[in-house]
A and B are shown apart, each in its own frame.
Chain A
Amino acid sequence: MPATVTPNRVEPDRRHHLEDHDNGSGRRPPTDKRTGGGGDNDNWDRSRGNYGPRERLRRARMGVFFAIASDLMFFVAIVSTFFVNQSTGHINVYNQYVNDWTPTAVPRILWFNTLVLLISSLTMEMARRQMFREHDAMDEWLGLGKPITRRTIPWLIATIILGLAFLAGQWTAWRQLAAQHVFFRTNQSSHFFYLITGVHAVHLFLGIAILIAAFTGLYLSRQLETRQIIVDSASWYWHAMGLLWIFLFALLAFCQ
Chain B
Amino acid sequence: MTLPNQQVLSPKLYTRLFTTDHRIIGLQYLALALFSVTIGTLLSLVMRIHLVWPTWPLPLHGLILPEDYLAVVTLHGTIMLFFVLTTAPQAGFGNLILPSQLGARHMAFPVLNALSFWTTAAALITLLSSPLVPNGAAISGWTAYPPLSAVAAAGPGQGLGMDLWLVSISLFALASTASSINILTTIIRNRCPGLTWDRLPLTVWGWFTAALLSLIAFSVLLAALLLLFCDRHCGTGFFVPTGDLVNGVLHRGANGSPLLWLHLFWFFGHPEVYIAILPGMGLTSMLLANFSRRRPFAYRTMIYTTLLIGLLGLLVWGHHMFVSGLNPFASSAFSVSSIAIAIPATAKVLSWLATIWRAKPQYTTAMLFSLGFVSLFIAGGLTGPILAQPILDQYLNNTLFVVAHFHLIMAMAGVFGLFAATYYWFPQISAALGKPNLILSESLGRWHFWITILAAYAVFLPMHLSGLAGEPRHYAQLTTGSLTPTTALLARTIPANLHTTYSAFVLAAAQLLFFYNLVRTLLRGTPAPENPWQSTTLEWHPQFTNPFFPLPASDEETEKIIVYRDPCHYHAPPSGTIFIPQWMPDASIDPKPE
Binding site for B on A (CB under 8 A): 1-6, 8-10, 36-41, 44-45, 47-51, 55, 58-59, 62-63, 66-67, 69-78, 81, 84-85, 88-90, 100, 184-185, 188, 191, 195, 199
> Which of A50, A66, A74, A184 is the one whose CB lies under 8 Å from B235?
A184
| Cβ–Cβ contact B592 & A3, under 8 A | yes
Q: Is the CB of A71 within 8 A of B219?
A: yes
- A-binding segment of B61-69, B137-145, B256-264: B256-264
Q: B208-252 interface mask toward A, CB cutoff 8 Å, 1 = contact, 0 = none? A: 000000011011101110110010001111100111000000000
A28 to B: closest C-beta gap in Å: 12
Contacts A40-B197, A59-B108 given; indicate if A185 touches B235 (C-beta within 8 A).
Answer: yes
Instruction: Please report B residues at the A interface, Cβ cutoff 8 Å.
Output: 102, 104, 108-109, 112, 177, 180-182, 184-185, 188-197, 215-216, 218-220, 222-224, 226-227, 230, 234-238, 241-243, 255-257, 260, 264, 267, 555-556, 558, 560, 562-566, 569-571, 580, 586, 589, 591-592
Contact B560 A67 (CB under 8 A): no
Distance, CA A195 to CA B255, complexed state (A): 16
Given contacts A5-B586, A81-B260, 13 further A-B contacts (CB under 8 A): A2-B571, A8-B564, A39-B191, A39-B193, A47-B556, A48-B556, A50-B190, A66-B181, A69-B215, A74-B220, A74-B223, A76-B220, A185-B234
The answer for the CA separation of A167 and B264 in the assembled complex, in Å, is: 30
Closest to A66 in B: B181
Tell me whether A73 and B234 are in contact in the complex, defined as CB-CB below 8 angstroms, given that A1-B591, A66-B181 are known contacts.
Answer: no
Pick the contact of B236: A37, A49, A191 (CB < 8 A): A191
Inter-chain contacts of A67 with B (CB < 8 A): 177, 181
Are B230 and A8 interface neighbours, CB within 8 A? Answer: no
From B185, B196, B224, B556, contact of A51 by CB (8 A): B556
The 19 listed contacts between A and B (C-beta, < 8 Å) are A1-B592, A5-B586, A8-B586, A36-B193, A39-B102, A39-B193, A45-B193, A49-B192, A59-B109, A63-B185, A66-B180, A66-B184, A67-B177, A77-B264, A77-B267, A90-B242, A185-B236, A188-B237, A195-B227
User: Most chain-A Cβ atoms within 10 A of its Cβ — which of B102, B196, B219, B563?
Assistant: B219
Whether A70 and B570, one on each chain, are in contact in the complex, defined by CB atoms closer than 8 angstroms, is no
Question: Which residues of chain A have C-beta atoms less than 8 A from B565's C-beta?
Answer: 5-6, 8
- CB nearest neighbor in B for A69: B215
- The interface residues of chain A lying within 8 Å CB-to-CB of B267 are 77
Question: Quick check: A74 and B555 within 8 Å, CB to CB?
Answer: no
CA distance A90 to B565 in the complex (A): 63
User: Cα distance A47–B589 when bound, in Å?
Assistant: 25
Q: Which residues of B contact A66 (CB under 8 A)?
A: 180-181, 184-185, 215
Taking a contact as CB atoms under 8 Å apart, the answer to whether B218 and A70 are in contact is yes
Asked whether A39 and B216 contact (CB < 8 A) given A81-B260, A188-B255, the answer is no
Whether A38 touches B260, Cβ cut-off 8 Å, given contacts A66-B181, A184-B235, is no
B234, A74: Cβ atoms closer than 8 Å: no
- Chain A residue at smallest Cβ distance from B590: A2
| A39–B192 CB distance below 8 A | yes
Which are the 10 A-B pairs with shortest beta-carbon distances?
A39-B191, A44-B193, A185-B235, A77-B223, A39-B195, A74-B219, A73-B219, A2-B592, A66-B181, A77-B220
Shortest Cβ distance from A50 into B: residue: B190
Whether the pair A78, B556 counts as a contact (CB closer than 8 A) is: no
Task: Looking at the assembled complex, report how far the CB atom of B300 sits from the nearest CB atom of chain A, in whole angstroms.
Answer: 12
Are the C-beta atoms of A4 and B197 separated by less than 8 Å? no
Q: How far is the CA of A244 from the CA of B193 in the complex (A)?
A: 37
Inter-subunit contact B189/A38 (CB<8 Å): yes
Which chain B residues border A8 with CB–CB below 8 Å? Answer: 564-565, 586
Contacts of A84 in B (CB 8 A): 257, 260
Partner of B556, one of A49, A77, A88, A184: A49
- State whether A1 and B586 are in contact (beta carbons under 8 Å apart), knowing that A8-B565, A77-B264, A191-B236 are contacts in the complex: yes
Q: Given contacts A39-B102, A62-B189, is CB(A49)–CB(B257) below 8 Å? A: no
Shortest distance between the CB of A2 and any CB in chain B (Å): 4
Would you give the shortest CB distance from B287 to chain A, in whole angstroms? 19
Q: Kindly provide the distance from the CB of A90 to the nearest chain B CB, expressed in whole angstroms.
A: 4
Smallest CB gap from A62: residue in B: B185
Report the nearest A residue to B569, measured CB to CB: A4
Report the minimum CB–CB distance from B255 to chain A (whole Å): 5
Q: Can you name the residue of chain A whose Cβ is closest to the Cβ of B211?
A: A66
Residues of A within 8 A of B256 (CB): 85
With contacts A1-B586, A59-B189 known, is A70 near B216, CB below 8 A? yes
Q: Which residues of B contact A45 (CB under 8 A)?
A: 193
A84 to B238, CA, bound (A): 10
A85 B255 Cβ-Cβ under 8 A: yes
Chain A residues in 8 Å Cβ range of B218: 70
Report Cα–Cα, A72/B237, bound state, in Å. Answer: 24
CA distance A2 to B109 in the complex (A): 40
User: Is B589 in contact with A44, judged by CB distance below 8 angstroms?
Assistant: no
Q: Are B189 and A6 in contact (CB under 8 A)?
A: no
Which chain B positions have C-beta within 8 A of A58? 189
Shortest Cβ distance from residue B185 to the other chain A in the assembled complex, whole angstroms: 5
